[in-house]
Amino acid sequence: MKSQPPSSSGPSALLSPDSKSPDLKSAKGSGVTSFPWLPLIVALVLTGGLIGGWSYYLLKQPSAGGDFTLNHGGQNWHFGSRAKSLNLLYVGYVKCPDVCPMSLSFASQAFQKLSVEEKSKAQLIFISVDVDHDTAQSVAEYAQQFDPSFVGLTGAREMIDQTIRSVGASYVVENAPGSYLGYSVAHTDRLFFLDSKGRVIDTIPNPRSSELIVEKMKEHL
Amino acid sequence: MNLNFRLLGVVSLLTGMISLSPCLAAEVGVVGKGHSNLEISEARVFAPRKGSNTTAAYAILKNTSDKPMQITFQKMAPFKSVEIHESLEKDGRMAMQKLESLTIPAKSLLELKPGSHHFMLFDATASLKEGEMLTGQLSIDGQATDISFKVVPR
């Protein structure tokens, strides 16, 4: 019972010392000085936002495309010097019997629906991730049959891995001992849209129609 | 009146189906040793692309019987080997797995289509022409059945 008064009076004693109460009153009265730290907080938030946004932008760049050099039919193929206004990218492998040729066929149909001018500003890059079985010649020849402008690329495994990782694609080579090929490659099934700097500006997951590809291409051209 | 109309509708529908069935039969891919409980349509093989030694065949398979049907894929000239595969999404990637057989439930359709079930074909020993017909040998519940597939462009 005796301990109650001090505990209840403690906080009030802290909150209302004689020296502070006039300050609080005058603060209420003036309004302007009610939150003297407010501009500081606003400034901090803005600065933090700017720094955060800038860092995000800088960090985001490498994880969303960029420049690369791979191999086209035995020659170096440098994106930076071969890029068009719009560059579609698909990752797969030449011995893929089902998903890759389907996606490339839809892309090919989409290219056929573009005007000559639109088509001249766009290209499709097919990167084979099957380094052990696909050759620079086989990839280039394979891609060209879907559309003469399609560019089939391969290269050193490190370069391929780095390039496809930069756009957010991936693959896993799976052993299939009971199958004739003995392996298959699980890979990202997505059309990436890159601008002339190689930055990913759009994607179509599981492309299953040419209409959507045409629509997005026209939107970005 | 209502009943008569309904009856008329049913009769005309049945007549239509019966009269259409020869057309369907002409389109379906069963040749030679057919199977009475399998209806097949849109049987096609995509012409292989240069650079690749694989391609795929697709079709719509219909089990008209009231029992499940088990299908295995034996061979198709001029390919060295054939397998049944299924493309499926795994960990955000499209993967493929080999299947020993397909089972079509009673009175059901199974569509072999891109991005799903397909017959995978390896190493053609001859070049294929568009429009050419190829014979695929299936085994349906142990009974050999020949299906003809048309070579089509991608």
User: Between chains, do A170 and B94 touch, taking CB under 8 Å as contact?
Assistant: no
The CATH number that applies at residue B51 is 2.60.40.1890
> How many separate domains does chain B show?
1
With respect to residue B47, please indicate whether it lies within any of the assigned structural domains: yes
Range of lowest pLDDT (A15-24, A187-196, B132-141): A15-24
- The DSSP annotation for A130-168 comes to -TTT--HHHHHHHHHTT-TT-EEEB--HHHHHHHHHHHT
Range of lowest pLDDT (A2-6, A84-88, B52-56, B60-64): A2-6
- The string of pLDDT tens digits covering residues A56-70 is 665 544 457 999 999
Instruction: Name beta bridge partners: A152.
Output: A126
ipTM: 0.79
With respect to residue B120, please indicate whether it lies within any of the assigned structural domains: yes
| Contact status, residue A168 vs residue A79, Cβ threshold 8 Å | no
Range of the domain at B37: 29-152
Residue B30 has a pLDDT of 55
| Contact status, residue A166 vs residue A68, Cβ threshold 8 Å | yes
Top pLDDT among A142 and A25 is at: A142
- The string of pLDDT tens digits covering residues A23-53 is 444 444 444 556 778 888 888 888 888 887 7
Rounded (5°) CA angle B108-B114-B115: 95
Tell me if chain A has a CB within 8 Å of the CB of B89: yes
- The string of pLDDT tens digits covering residues B32-71 is 566 789 999 999 999 999 999 999 999 999 999 999 999 9
Nearest Cα of chain A lies from the Cα of B95 at a distance, in angstroms, of: 4
What's chain B's Rg over C-alpha atoms?
18
The three-state secondary structure class of A198 is coil
With respect to residue B12, please indicate whether it lies within any of the assigned structural domains: no
pTM: 0.76
Terminal Cα-to-Cα distance of chain B (whole angstroms): 52
Contact residues, chain A, for B128 at CB < 8 Å: none
Distance, in Å, from the CA atom of B98 to the CA atom of B101, rounded to the nearest integer, reads 9
**CATH number of the domain at A69-220, please?**
3.40.30.10
Domains of chain A: which residue ranges?
A: 4-63, 69-220
With respect to residue B40, please indicate whether it lies within any of the assigned structural domains: yes
Nearest Cα of chain B lies from the Cα of A73 at a distance, in angstroms, of: 12
